[in-house]
Amino acid sequence: NAGVTQTPKFQVLKTGQSMTLQCAQDMNHEYMSWYRQDPGMGLRLIHYSVGAGITDQGEVPNGYNVSRSTTEDFPLRLLSAAPSQTSVYFCASSKKTSGRAYEQYFGPGTRLTVT
Amino acid sequence: QQPVQSPQAVILREGEDAVINCSSSKALYSVHWYRQKHGEAPVFLMILLKGGEQKGHEKISASFNEKKQQSSLYLTASQLSYSGTYFCGTEDHRGSTLGRLYFGRGTQLTVWP
pLDDT in tens, B39-72: 999 999 988 887 665 666 667 889 888 888 899 9
| pLDDT bucket at B98, cuts 50 / 70 / 90 | low
- In this structure, of A23-27, A80-84, B26-30, the range with the lowest mean pLDDT score is B26-30
Chain A: give the shortest CA distance to residue B81, in Å. Answer: 19
pLDDT in tens, A69-112: 999 999 999 999 999 999 999 999 988 655 666 789 999 999 99
Nearest CB among A97, A102, A106 relative to B42 is that of A106
CB contact under 8 A, B99 and A35: no
Instruction: Please give the Cα distance from B103 to B1 (Å, whole number).
Output: 9
Predicted confidence at residue B4, as pLDDT, reads: 96
Contact B92, B28 (CB under 8 A): yes
Predicted confidence at residue A4, as pLDDT, reads: 97
Q: Does the pLDDT at position A5 exceed 60?
A: yes
CB contact under 8 A, A59 and B102: yes
Predicted confidence at residue B53, as pLDDT, reads: 57
Residue B39's closest CA among B70, B76, B83, B97? Answer: B83
* A73-to-A51, A53, A70, A98, B22 alpha-carbon distances in Å: 10, 11, 6, 21, 32
Q: Does the pLDDT at position A32 exceed 60?
A: yes
Q: Does the pLDDT at position B93 exceed 90?
A: no
Instruction: Please give the Cα distance from B54 to B52 (Å, whole number).
Output: 6
Calculate Rg over the CA atoms of chain A.
13
Nearest CA in chain A to B104: A42
